[in-house]
A = this chain, B = another copy of it.
């Protein structure tokens, strides 16, 4: 096991890599610890969780809504959770987002921690303290920024991860490479998903590299006034189509990155070759690169994106593979671009 401590604005967050799940007993009083997980994970790992108080929610983004929060809060009350309780979220991004949110508001805030069980949660969702829920089709409309006490990486959970979830996670890894790390992009070009699935050391190295990359960006700008915005690459159109078409997050983001690359080509001089490298890499990892969507509906959702301020949205565009830039674009220009290039 390797412990790495990262200093965020209000607290240190410990990352335990290559740890075993049972190590959580040494990190908080077991009798005042409540697990929160989803039905899929709960079914697969019953025996691991049987000695803990556990709250189980439905699996999937469709349930990342207020009514799920309501049921969790009822259960916390019934389980006698108090201000010293630690809520431990075990699962993918939906579980970690909801865990962080509930813990941030229950009794005006209790401790929480994450055991991410998907590639996506390990490299992205569990890191950086953004939590929240969707409001209908609007992604993450309600939430807070609040850091967990610790993240515990037990890679054995990946043994049961379905193939589509592996693919999903690689969308965020490719995003990291696009905005910050041309060498990582090359590594991904030289490998295949199967290489990572079958070589634990190579995989663990990839996960640590990506967790570190995201952490470094967030630590510099926790409340997203500048650099953290880069992590939104692909997420503006991605979020607008995700709930509307009930796409897996990675698929939505993949399509969103292709759109952002096209816009980058159009107004930011991204070479067409670079855009092609991106679309090829996404396809190589099993990700979709286009969707025939209802332009009007998508634009209307996009107008309520959190990144909008008055009539402008901060778009993340590429200069090159490995280097991104924040560019405010007016809603009118976004509409023109959509009609012109999509």
Q: Enumerate chain A interface residues (CB-CB to B < 8 A).
A: 32, 66, 70, 73-74, 77, 80, 82-84, 101, 104-109, 130, 132, 135, 138, 140-145, 303-304, 306, 308-310
Contact A108 B145 (CB under 8 A): yes
Contact A306 B83 (CB under 8 A): yes
Q: Assuming A66-B70, A73-B141, what are 14 further A-B pairs, CB within 8 angstroms?
A: A32-B310, A66-B66, A73-B135, A74-B135, A82-B310, A84-B310, A101-B105, A104-B144, A105-B105, A107-B141, A108-B140, A108-B142, A109-B144, A109-B145
Given contacts A66-B70, A309-B84, A310-B32, contact A106 B142 (CB under 8 A): yes
Whose C-beta in chain B lies nearest to the C-beta of A307? B83
Pick the residue among B101, B108, B130, B135 that contacts A77 (CB under 8 A).
B135
Cα–Cα, bound, A109→B84 (Å): 25
Cα–Cα, bound, A143→B105 (Å): 5
What residues of B have a CB within 8 angstroms of the CB of A104 in the complex?
A: 144
Chain B nearest CB, measured from A307 CB (Å) = 8
Most buried by B among A107, A144, A304: A107
Whose C-beta in chain B lies nearest to the C-beta of A106? B142
Chain B nearest CB, measured from A97 CB (Å) = 11
Most buried by B among A101, A145, A308: A308
What residues of B have a CB within 8 angstroms of the CB of A83 in the complex?
A: 306, 309
Cα–Cα, bound, A216→B101 (Å): 30
What residues of B have a CB within 8 angstroms of the CB of A70 in the complex?
A: 66
Cα–Cα, bound, A105→B146 (Å): 11
Given contacts A66-B66, A73-B135, contact A143 B108 (CB under 8 A): yes
What residues of B have a CB within 8 angstroms of the CB of A306 in the complex?
A: 82-83, 107-108
Show 6 residue pairs from A and B whose CB-CB distance is below 8 angstroms, ordered by the A residue.
A77-B135, A77-B138, A83-B309, A84-B310, A105-B144, A108-B132
Pick the residue among B32, B82, B105, B143 that contacts A308 (CB under 8 A).
B82
What residues of B have a CB within 8 angstroms of the CB of A144 in the complex?
A: 104-105, 108-109, 144
Cα–Cα, bound, A306→B142 (Å): 23
Most buried by B among A82, A140, A303, A309: A82
Cα–Cα, bound, A108→B141 (Å): 7
Contact A82 B309 (CB under 8 A): yes
Chain B nearest CB, measured from A134 CB (Å) = 11
Whose C-beta in chain B lies nearest to the C-beta of A142? B105
Chain B nearest CB, measured from A240 CB (Å) = 14
What residues of B have a CB within 8 angstroms of the CB of A140 in the complex?
A: 108
Most buried by B among A32, A83, A84: A83
Cα–Cα, bound, A105→B106 (Å): 13
Chain B nearest CB, measured from A12 CB (Å) = 17
